[in-house]
Structure 1
């Protein structure tokens, strides 16, 4: 068996960088930026008023000074003349500041009669003008990878007048559940069968990261069925099998994959849950064989596959991020394998979920963290700070 850290290094080596593509701006949210993007225009492209008021010359803005209003500048409809001495232009927020003006007096400080205004309050230091290019200038590189594009990023790209965005292509993941005992949700299970849940939990996990998931038909416990389903993985960037990776008489995934030419990188990891984990390449495509127990599969998805996907999408080789949280109660010593215990973080403390059987999805569903216990970790008292991985 290898350690979790060693398994991650193997998986990072298998995680091929994905090519990039260009998508419309409207489809860019949540995608991974592929190359730096520069502004194609200056923002704002002109000096603009930040307030509603009157544009005039600042040196003339004395208390009780009077000005003749000679025009109006509104957003999208600027005043094209040049301001002279003793003149003012009615101006609105976002409108271009006319030539000759260097100050906007807010309308609350002005009294107007016809075309004549009088300043009723002393001059304030602010000029209430946003200079041209105060946000960004044409040619500025404002966004660069690695970066998942947020709604704010999309707004910025739109202001930059970027119509199409270079992004990393979405990874395509083929998910194969294996076992005679499985039927799909909605089907009528036999007396000895259960519902295939792992495929759907993992698909939700991967799709939340931006992947495209193909849930393939359940592969039965025969070589011919496995070969047929493996044949449906063409075009995938990653193949994930669930179950059949152990050493029982009906665990055929490793044998069939080897017959099909898989170059195995490792098998078995010193962890709980998730020991019977396998990985390698099949026809040049990375393949990961997960344990069949539901919690084991989901924990391995968090610990191994999510970091692997982040690497494929250009986010670097980093393990699942951890937080440090104090224990709410004492916990017993850990065994010889690294343990990822289902747990709950509440009010700044962490509590293990009690039952840690790898088949109990109800325990996983009510947990929001995995408490990480090193091998042979001694008993820990309440208040001791431990590592945890946050889960949805």
Structure 2
């Protein structure tokens, strides 16, 4: 049996196997959480004209000024402002041609019906948003592969785009294996446990705007498992929870071999999650995750989500850690990279006492994972450690 491979090597090998999906054009409003397939190029200049940043008067030259009109949003003043003239102006309205300053409404004194002075002398150019100060037509605003956020949807529309080109959501299926699993948690027999990993993994997948196909748990039977795997051959990613270890009833590897799949690697030097498997069957990627809930969660976080991001052509596929001080001393680590459930509060992380791979209560309490490198020494309380944020999938 080959020794477990290092985590970063395993992640790199998985991502090398993954190919992006085809592209499609979707409305900007429907692109949230997807990744740009092409750079975002501005189709218009913003602002398209000089705009007032404040309510007041657009003036030319020195006071007093004669008020000759008004410039409103959507109804700009159509004439020319000469020296000694002014127009009323609203925030966001076009600055009339010829005007060089904005007198704020609170500084303005209208002495007669149309004669204006100011308590503060206006500074030329102040409170004017110059044309093109945000971006100009033809400018590249976003790189391909960036995640589409609410602010980036607004930017795309402001740049003149009604649609964005993104990669299509891949077809994903989740299989849970085990005779002991009950699909209905409220009708669970004494010798059964509720099936939880499928729902958990599907919820994680939804972070990437994808919904996976799920089926009732597959029994520990070679023919049944092979048939379930074969029934989802048209999915780009097949995630199998449980059955990837070395026990008599761990049948994922035999089932894959029976179907002619190629196992790229099996077992990773990490804790929890050592019995992780990556295989291919034609263009399909198959992930065999451990059955213990915490192990399944951690391996999905570090392998399943990055694989999906690669299919969506994301620039950043792997989660990124940030360094945060730890409130407690941490023990030395052996030959496997270790991930500890922890809570982040007040700018510090605190490990949760229960670190067992079946402890769902501790996993539900955690909002971060602390990463501990192989063979690292004990660290003192207050030392900064690499931490992954769980709720956003580790991606900002």
Q: 2:96 aligns with which of 95, 98, 109?
A: 98
Distance 1:300 1:120, change over 3 A: closer
What SS does structure 2 have at the residue aligned with 1:240? strand
Which is further off, 151-160 or 373-382? 373-382
2:109–2:119 contact (8 Å) kept in structure 1? no
The alpha-carbon deviation at position 263 of structure 1 amounts to: 0.7
TM-score relative to the length of structure 1: 0.90
Which is further off, 151-160 or 350-359? 350-359
Tell me the residue number matched to 2:267.
268
Tell me the residue number matched to 2:159.
160
Which is further off, 286-295 or 303-312? 303-312
Equivalenced residues, count: 387
What SS does structure 1 have at the residue aligned with 2:58? strand
1:334–1:376 contact (8 Å) kept in structure 2? yes
Tell me the residue number matched to 2:188.
189
Deviations 1:259-303 (A, max 9, x none): 111111011122222121111102321111011111111111122
The alpha-carbon deviation at position 313 of structure 1 amounts to: 2.6
2:80 paired with 1:82: yes
Structure 1 CA distance for aligned equivalents of residues 35 and 358 of structure 2: 34
2:34–2:208 contact (8 Å) kept in structure 1? no
Structure 2 CA distance for aligned equivalents of residues 356 and 31 of structure 1: 34
Tell me the residue number matched to 2:205.
206
2:121 paired with 1:118: no
2:278–2:285 contact (8 Å) kept in structure 1? yes
Structure 2 CA distance for aligned equivalents of residues 109 and 330 of structure 1: 60
Q: Which has the larger radius of gyration?
A: 1
Structure 1 CA distance for aligned equivalents of residues 85 and 216 of structure 2: 78
Q: 2:57 aligns with which of 30, 54, 57?
A: 54
Q: How does 1:185-264 map to 2 (within 5 A)?
A: 185-186=184-185, 188-264=187-263
Unaligned ranges ≥5, structure 2 = 392-396
Structure 1 CA distance for aligned equivalents of residues 384 and 118 of structure 2: 63
1:110–1:117 contact (8 Å) kept in structure 2? no
Structure 2 CA distance for aligned equivalents of residues 161 and 172 of structure 1: 31
Tell me the residue number matched to 2:174.
175
Structure 1 CA distance for aligned equivalents of residues 223 and 16 of structure 2: 30
The alpha-carbon deviation at position 114 of structure 1 amounts to: 4.9
Unaligned ranges ≥5, structure 1 = none
